[in-house]
Amino acid sequence: KQEVTQIPAALSVPEGENLVLNCSFTDSAIYNLQWFRQDPGKGLTSLLLIQSSQREQTSGRLNASLDKSSGRSTLYIAASQPGDSATYLCAVRKGYSSASKIIFGSGTRLSIRP
């Protein structure tokens, strides 16, 4: 059974710092991994999608890596800003198909202090 864990559950850092959010999963047979951002009371906004054959994806100040063999993904945020404050969720699509089930972690609640 695929389980997705995000540690820590909450993180507070001063503005300007680089930071890393962690996501671990128990079954390496994944189709892809997607990072989302969620603001309070809102839906999820897709940040980055990494296919199983890829090692990393970058978008602006964000970089996501994937290591299937160790069951880990990291989301790196450079030069953090107060506007980055949100909950960050990772989601793993199981198996070998774009139709297979997606399992979410519980998220890391990030707070950037001005």
Partner 1 sequence: DTGVSQDPRHKITKRGQNVTFRCDPISEHNRLYWYRQTLGQGPEFLTYFQNEAQLEKSRLLSDRFSAERPKGSFSTLEIQRTEQGDSAMYLCASSIRDRLAGGGNTGELFFGEGSRLTVL
Residue 82 φ/ψ, nearest 5 degrees: -55, -30
Output the smallest distance, CB 18 to partner 1, in A.
25
Residues 33, 45: Cα–Cα separation, whole Å: 14
Build a one-symbol-per-residue string for 83-102: x at contacts with partner 1 by CB under 8 A, - elsewhere: ------x-x-x---xxx-xx
Binding to partner 1 (CB under 8 A) within 14-73 occurs at 31-32, 34, 36, 41-46, 49, 51
**SS3 label, residue 8:** coil
**SS3 label, residue 19:** strand
Site for partner 1, rule CB under 8 A? 4, 31-32, 34, 36, 41-46, 49, 51, 89, 91, 93, 97-99, 101-107
